[in-house]
Amino acid sequence: MDDEADGNERNDERIKPRTLKGFRDFLPEAMIPRERIMDIARRVFRSYGFSPIDTPALEYLDVLLGKGGAETDKQLYRFQDHGGRDVGMRFDLTVPLARFAAQHIGTLGTPFKRYHIACVWRGENTQRGRYREFMQCDFDTIGAKNVAADAEVVLVVHDLLRAIGFERFTIRVNNRLVLSGLLESIGLQSHATDVLRALDKLAKIGPERVVEEIQQTAGASAKDAACIVEMVQLSGPNDAVLAQLRPLVSGSERGKEGVDRLSELLSAVSTAGVPAERVRLDVSIARGLDYYTGTVLETTLDDLPTIGSVCSGGRYDNLAELYTNQQLPGIGASLGLDRLLAAMEELGMIEKTRTPAQVFIPYFDASRLGDYLHLAAELRSAGLAVEVYPEPTKLGKQLQYADRKGFRVAVIAGEREFAAGECQIKNLTTTESVTVPRDAVLAEVQRVLAK
């Protein structure tokens, strides 16, 4: 076989590069804004005293099964590992946190505040801003039952969205005890899970079909199903909704507790300075996962509500009981990074760039490599991100590269500039340039970047 034929045979054996449905590669222009949001989230979480943790991507299957509901169990990636153990990939970061807390709380103590930024996996149908592998940015408090912890979750979500760059958003809050109280009073408490799952579809399928589903799955009468849906559709100012809720749950201590906690929560966040228009009592918020027991919340963007909730969570006081006898109530929320970024792109909030560096230094005088590297080091020591081109080639080619990558400014010096002790500073956005003394380079670069 000749060399050409042998080469063709090898080419035919090459594996076609491709990704699984629901999974993605991230190019620099996509990864740069992702990392920016994660950096902001870390900063906000830490400002409230939340500490970072990490847990394995794989858990024993019994740790995960049955914790999120039947639908979540269907979506779970599960298999047997090489040791024959039944394992699954985490579908969220809250269930692993409950296992983590039960395992380590003796060392950590309570209250324990953590954040966790990591990937999770669900084998569900893909849709806009939703994939089978996605990143969650979670923060939770374990070991605190007081409404103070609930209020802090709302404050963190509020500060996080503002730090990212949003001013028009709504944090919708509810308490599952309110619905539990109503169900208790009409004898449907044992079917709470079926009712919650039906209510979670309210925005997708409408009230009439939700009434039908509650009748079919929970065995409710048409009157009771309609009463449930009517309650969750209450609207108006927060105080007015609270006033309408109280008589509906007057026959249930659980329901009254839910209304009282909502009232205390709304009062606390208002006093803390959150504008009233950003926090709304929405009785329709149920959250689909089974483990929530009290406060639940969802956050929507006023300018793009159709993309769904970008930050959701709630209270789960019983989840850790599956792993320990110790009482470990918890509450927290999760920023949906992928969905948020999809919204930001649609709203034109993401600056297109393929480099995290602001400053570009062309390298076209081959004898001056050390001088270029020294100049870059000076600028980096002042906190700037700088890239030096790795090959001594024509300046025009290097500036085309800089334009393609999205650098903001170029610092240009060749034989003439080095001899004169000068550098040319070029604004790559406007193409304007100015020549300055070597000791004025930093100040001029900073001036251009500040524009």
How confident is the model at residue 277, as a pLDDT? 94
Count of domains for the chain: 2
Tokens of 282: 């929405």
For 234, phi then psi, to 5°, come to -60, 140
How confident is the model at residue 109, as a pLDDT? 94
- The answer to whether residues 310 and 375 belong to one domain is no
How confident is the model at residue 130, as a pLDDT? 74
How confident is the model at residue 227, as a pLDDT? 87
Question: How would you classify residue 77: left for phi > 0, otherwise alpha for psi between -120 and 50, otherwise beta?
Answer: beta
Strands (E), 163-232: 169-175
- The answer to whether residues 69 and 198 belong to one domain is yes
CATH code of the domain in which 435 resides: 3.40.50.800
pLDDT in tens, 250-276: 888 999 999 999 999 999 999 999 999
- The answer to whether residues 335 and 406 belong to one domain is no
Across 18-32, 73-87, 277-291, 425-439, least confident range: 277-291
Average pLDDT over residues 53-69: 92
- The answer to whether residues 329 and 424 belong to one domain is no
How confident is the model at residue 6, as a pLDDT? 57
Q: Is residue 412 part of a domain?
A: yes
How confident is the model at residue 2, as a pLDDT? 58
How confident is the model at residue 381, as a pLDDT? 97
How confident is the model at residue 250, as a pLDDT? 86
How confident is the model at residue 10, as a pLDDT? 57
- The answer to whether residues 149 and 265 belong to one domain is yes
Across 62-76, 159-173, 292-306, least confident range: 62-76
Domain boundary among 322, 346, 370: 346
Domain boundary among 346, 378, 405: 346
* H helices present in 87-146, as ranges: 94-108
pLDDT at position 339 over 60: yes
- The answer to whether residues 112 and 224 belong to one domain is yes
Average pLDDT over residues 341-360: 93
Nearest to 140 by CA among 291, 283, 274, 275: 291
Q: Is residue 14 part of a domain?
A: no
Q: Is residue 21 part of a domain?
A: no
- Pairing of the two strands 169-175 and 279-281: parallel
Domain boundary among 285, 318, 346: 346
How confident is the model at residue 126, as a pLDDT? 78
Q: CB neighbours of 330 closer than 8 A, spacing ≥ 6?
A: 94, 97, 98, 101, 140, 141, 142, 143, 315, 316, 317, 319, 320
- The answer to whether residues 156 and 89 belong to one domain is yes
Q: Is residue 4 part of a domain?
A: no
**Which residue range is the domain that position 261 belongs to?**
28-346
- The answer to whether residues 153 and 269 belong to one domain is yes
Average pLDDT over residues 283-303: 86
- The answer to whether residues 298 and 398 belong to one domain is no
CATH code of the domain in which 45 resides: 3.30.930.10
Burial class (CB within 10 angstroms; exposed 0-12, middle 13-18, buried 19+) of 118: middle
- The answer to whether residues 204 and 302 belong to one domain is yes
Q: pTM, whole model, 2 decimals?
A: 0.87
pLDDT at position 1 over 90: no
pLDDT at position 129 over 80: no
pLDDT in tens, 26-44: 999 999 999 999 999 999 9
Q: Is residue 351 part of a domain?
A: no
Q: CB neighbours of 158 closer than 8 A, spacing ≥ 6?
A: 171, 269, 274, 278, 279
Q: How many CB atoms lie within 10 A of CB 39?
A: 11
pLDDT in tens, 239-256: 999 999 999 888 889 999
Average pLDDT over residues 133-160: 96
Q: Is residue 365 part of a domain?
A: yes
How confident is the model at residue 58, as a pLDDT? 96
Report d(CA 319, CA 98) in Å as an integer.
6
- The answer to whether residues 202 and 331 belong to one domain is yes
Average pLDDT over residues 416-421: 95
- The answer to whether residues 259 and 403 belong to one domain is no
Q: Is residue 12 part of a domain?
A: no
pLDDT in tens, 164-194: 999 999 999 999 999 888 888 888 888 888 8
Question: How would you classify residue 339: left for phi > 0, otherwise alpha for psi between -120 and 50, otherwise beta?
Answer: alpha
SS3 call for 387: strand
Q: Is residue 7 part of a domain?
A: no
**Amino acid occupying residue 152:** E
Nearest to 99 by CA among 139, 41, 90: 90
Average pLDDT over residues 124-135: 81
Residue that wins the pLDDT comparison between 190 and 392: 392
**Amino acid occupying residue 80:** Q
